[in-house]
Amino acid sequence: MTTISRREWVKGMTLATLGTVAFYDLSAQAKPNFPVSKKAPAWTAKQEQILNEWIGVIIPESSIPGAVSLGVPKFVKTMLDDCYELSAQETFRQVLDAFPSSFESYVKKAWSQANQAEKEEFLFAMAKGNVGSGAQKAMSTLKGLTIQGYTTSEEIMVKYYNYVMAPGFFNGCAPVKKS
């Protein structure tokens, strides 16, 4: 996991590109106050476990970290709690609670006994609407959030997308490197 200390980052940027600019003590910054939703019910341990496994099938672990090890489930829960209407949250929880039994009746096997291919097949069936419209919506929501959380994680942005906060230059006509 790549970690960049903010202080080091600013120091680096300052030395690299600014020369004589004043260096500000960033520890003086007040931490922003992010609201916490009061409406969403707590997630049960069971729900969290199912959610983790579900997310783990969408973007699995390999030699490259997958969604679960990059903390995507926490992001997904935050987004569902805070950024979705209560009715959408309820539908999602219902699908989540029914997930093991839906899986079992569709694949004819317990989740714990199934392989990745079987799990993916079930998720594709959900996405197509073959497991009901609620499941289709929930799958679409979860896939979108999982991709968002994964592609905006520090690991992926820095290592794979070459994210830099302050590029310090602009080239309006840069040759595309042929791979």
Least distance (Å) between residue 60 CB and other proteins: 6
Secondary structure string (H, E, C) spanning 28-87: HCCCCCCCCCCCCCCCCHHHHHHHHHHHHHHCCCCCCCCCCCCCHHHHHHHHHHHHCCHH
Give the residue with the Cβ less far from other proteins, 58 or 96: 58
Asked whether position 60 contacts other proteins by CB under 8 A, the answer is yes
Give the residue with the Cβ less far from other proteins, 46 or 59: 59
Asked whether position 129 contacts other proteins by CB under 8 A, the answer is no
Least distance (Å) between residue 49 CB and other proteins: 19
Asked whether position 21 contacts other proteins by CB under 8 A, the answer is yes
Asked whether position 5 contacts other proteins by CB under 8 A, the answer is no
Q: Segment near other proteins (CB under 8 A), from 41-49, 90-98, 107-115, 163-171?
A: 163-171
In whole angstroms, what is the distance from residue 109 CA to residue 65 CA? 28
Give the residue with the Cβ less far from other proteins, 22 or 46: 22
Q: How many residues does the chain have?
A: 179
Asked whether position 63 contacts other proteins by CB under 8 A, the answer is no
Asked whether position 152 contacts other proteins by CB under 8 A, the answer is yes
In whole angstroms, what is the distance from residue 139 CA to residue 95 CA? 9
Of 65, 53, 46, the C-alpha closest to 119 is 53
In whole angstroms, what is the distance from residue 129 CA to residue 140 CA? 10
Query: Is there a contact between 97 and 47 (Cβ–Cβ < 8 Å)?
Result: yes
Restricting to residues 71-110, which ones interact with other proteins according to CB under 8 A?
75, 78-79, 82-85
Asked whether position 27 contacts other proteins by CB under 8 A, the answer is no
